[in-house]
Amino acid sequence: MPFGLGWFDYKIPIELEKSIQIGQLVKIPFRRSSLFGIVFEITAETEIKGGAKEIEKIILETPILTSKYIKFGMLCAKFYGVSPTIFFRMMLPPLQARKLQKVKLNKIKEVVKKPKKTKFFIYKNLEEQKKYLTKIISEPTLILVPEKEDLENILNLLPKEGVISWHSGLTEKEQFDTWFKIRNGEKKIIVGTRGAIFLPIPNLKNIVIDKEHHEGHKHWDQNPRYHTKDIANLYAKIFGIQTNLMDFSPSSESYFYIYKEIYNVPKNTKQKISSPPKELPKIINMVNERKGKNYSSFSWEVEQKMKEETGDIFLYINRRGLAGCLICNNCGHIERCEKCNLPLVTHENTKTLQCHYCKIKKNNFNQCLKCRSVNIKNFGTGTQGVEKELKKILPHKEIYRIDGDDENVEFKNEDQRIIVGTAKAFRNIRWEKTKLIIFVNIDTELNLPEFGAQEKIWHLIQKVQFIKEKNCLFFIQTLSPDYFLFKSLFEPDRFYRMDLNGRKALSYPPYNFIVKYIYGHENEFTAHKEAEKLYNTLTNKAKTCKILGPLQSTPMFYRRKYWFVVLLKKKLNETEENRYTIYKEIAEINKEIPSDWRIDPNPLSLLSV
């Protein structure tokens, strides 16, 4: 719903005038039915001609949301350009009239607290993580993890008493019961995925965001496109709640804020960041392998280690299919998707070329469609290609491929598990039994034209280093062994400095706050025209911001629409107060954005749909 359609005026019946309060759950008539509503303002007059309909009844005498949560929800709605209804629904459980009759709400006394500086804690092992959490949870605390798989790990570090979890896997009944236990203060420690940040927790003192670098803290694929760190910043300002960030691999932004002393940190934090792990991955120079006439996906050393290993093996490659694309060696033609223009990926099991965006398939062929040459070949390696080569090297071993094509793998009861997969395979790895890990080819990911591409690979390497057992060998194969990221494994500060220098030159976070506006239409000319119109609107309205666009999205044609992007960049000063000021400024700007535009503050990607 558009922002302006989130609230309606209703008349207070005489018998309810003395009992009506802001934040109460009420029953209201809406068209031909009755709905639940939240009272967010009480006024003496209405602008509705002919008078407003009356509230039917008060469902719960005690307000279900406090006035501060009402204010918080309204600001979020403005900032993300959606109806307040969306955020209030995210704050509440599934509402069922029959169950609500048996519910009793405890009253909450709102306490005025001053905003506090964000704290950051880096941990090198689970014991350090547990020690830090133990200090915090003496007070009501919300702990956020990026993925549902992380919940169990955190719960194992906490005491059993007074702890409850919240995630999308709960049934409606479980959500209802859990929500009221939290709302009435029966549970003081809540562990959840990103949606838990909207739970109205009484007298909340701390928000902990674990693995703060992880993209799972961003709700990126549908409205509202929020990031838990931005929401936590709003909490800190409105409620005075302490934000605590934790990680074994700090994000580039957090590194910046730590060294600028914007975050409060323990004394040894900078030393921990600059100290590399004792055991580093071995970098394999694949250029030398090619010089030695080895054109396999594996170096000689890696191939020998795989033949000798009796424990679990994991081979990572972040590309599905047999190969990245089909290219003609005669004319250079690359077969592309007719809709989005991205290269089609070869899939051997179905003998097809596929577009993973548009979900189209076409039969493979043995000659170039442009020049009719038969001198065509697959370029780049995908999970199917690695699996095919691996079966030749280990013909008597069971190989499991886990990627977007087939995530539901049934493992047999053999002692050894050999997995070829993308990032989706990580949840299936038996880390305690894995003795060999190979990053087959990450060069393509390092060269993606996105400001966060290098950082994403950095954190992936650090994740493996953090989780793997000490006796597990870790190899990274690359054609660019002198790339700064690999050199930085011995000197982590170097990576952060280089990454931040690049961000500063291009006005990326943490030097600027970015908002991405996305628009799609069946007609390319219309889509571009609307993007130009918004560019002009923002240029005139947001005088203190830099506006870029219109830019073609990647892919440009997706789900039967042509997509364009307009970017807003607002310079950030080195204070957390400045960030809150920017939130309010952008909230005012976003009120002017048409409802058919997607608004993405603090985006993960600048050009993707």
pLDDT of residue 377: 67
Rg (C-alpha) for the chain, rounded Å, is 27
Average pLDDT along the chain: 90
Q: Which amino acid is at 417?
A: R
Question: Hey, what are 52's tokens?
Answer: 């407003």
- Whether cis (ω within 30° of 0) applies to the bond prior to 276 is no
The set of residues, in sequence order, having a beta carbon less than 8 Å from that of 367 and lying 6+ positions away, is: 373, 374, 376
What does the alpha-carbon distance between residue 235 and residue 229 come to, in Å, rounded to a whole number?
Answer: 10
> How many CA atoms lie less than 13 Å away from 389 in the CB half-sphere?
18
Task: Give the least confident one: 322-331, 407-416, 467-476.
Answer: 322-331
pLDDT band at 345 (very low <50, low <70, confident <90, very high): confident
The DSSP-derived string for 363-391 is E--SS-TTT--S-EEEES--HHHHHHHHH
Query: Alpha-carbon dihedral of residues 362, 364, 367, 370, nearest 10 degrees?
Result: 20
Between the CA of residue 179 and those of 90, 204, 233, 260, 281, what are the distances in Å?
Answer: 11, 15, 23, 39, 45
Q: What are phi and psi of 503, to 5 degrees?
A: -65, -40
Between the CA of residue 66 and those of 71, 200, 233, 408, what are the distances in Å?
Answer: 9, 8, 19, 44
Single out the residue of 493, 538, 456 nearest to residue 258, CA to CA. Answer: 493
> How many CA atoms lie less than 13 Å away from 573 in the CB half-sphere?
7
- Cβ atoms of 440 and 298 closer than 8 Å: yes
The set of residues, in sequence order, having a beta carbon less than 8 Å from that of 135 and lying 6+ positions away, is: none
The set of residues, in sequence order, having a beta carbon less than 8 Å from that of 468 and lying 6+ positions away, is: 431, 434, 437, 474
Question: Hey, what are 408's tokens?
Answer: 């539901």
Q: Is pLDDT of 3 > 60?
A: no
pTM: 0.90
> What are the pLDDT digits (tens) for 100-154?
988 999 988 887 788 889 999 999 999 999 999 998 887 899 999 999 999 999 9
Between the CA of residue 256 and those of 215, 229, 427, 501, 531, what are the distances in Å?
Answer: 18, 15, 31, 11, 33
pLDDT band at 320 (very low <50, low <70, confident <90, very high): low
Question: Hey, what are 256's tokens?
Answer: 């910046």
Domains of the chain: 3-100 (3.40.1440.60), 119-274 (3.40.50.300), 282-496 (no CATH), 512-601 (3.30.70)
**DSSP 8-state class, residue 331:** T
- Average pLDDT for residues 539-561, to the nearest whole number? 91
pLDDT band at 447 (very low <50, low <70, confident <90, very high): confident
- Whether cis (ω within 30° of 0) applies to the bond prior to 510 is yes
- Average pLDDT for residues 567-580, to the nearest whole number? 87
> What are the pLDDT digits (tens) for 263-310?
999 999 999 999 988 889 999 999 999 899 998 999 999 999 999 999
pLDDT band at 1 (very low <50, low <70, confident <90, very high): very low
Helix axes 492-505, 252-259, angle to 10 degrees: 100
What does the alpha-carbon distance between residue 550 and residue 300 come to, in Å, rounded to a whole number?
Answer: 48
- Cβ atoms of 435 and 309 closer than 8 Å: yes
**DSSP 8-state class, residue 317:** -
- Cβ atoms of 348 and 320 closer than 8 Å: no
What does the alpha-carbon distance between residue 336 and residue 597 come to, in Å, rounded to a whole number?
Answer: 28
pLDDT of residue 115: 83
The H or E element that residue 585 is part of is helix 576-590
What does the alpha-carbon distance between residue 196 and residue 111 come to, in Å, rounded to a whole number?
Answer: 22
- Cβ atoms of 437 and 464 closer than 8 Å: yes
Single out the residue of 458, 389, 386 nearest to residue 425, CA to CA. Answer: 386
Pairing of strands 189-192, 141-144: parallel
> What are the pLDDT digits (tens) for 195-236?
999 999 998 999 999 999 999 999 998 999 999 999 999 999
pLDDT band at 4 (very low <50, low <70, confident <90, very high): low
Task: Give the least confident one: 109-118, 159-168, 351-360, 556-565.
Answer: 351-360
> What are the pLDDT digits (tens) for 22-71?
999 999 998 889 999 999 999 888 877 777 889 999 999 999 999 999 99
* Percentage with pLDDT > 90 across the chain: 68
- Cβ atoms of 60 and 37 closer than 8 Å: no
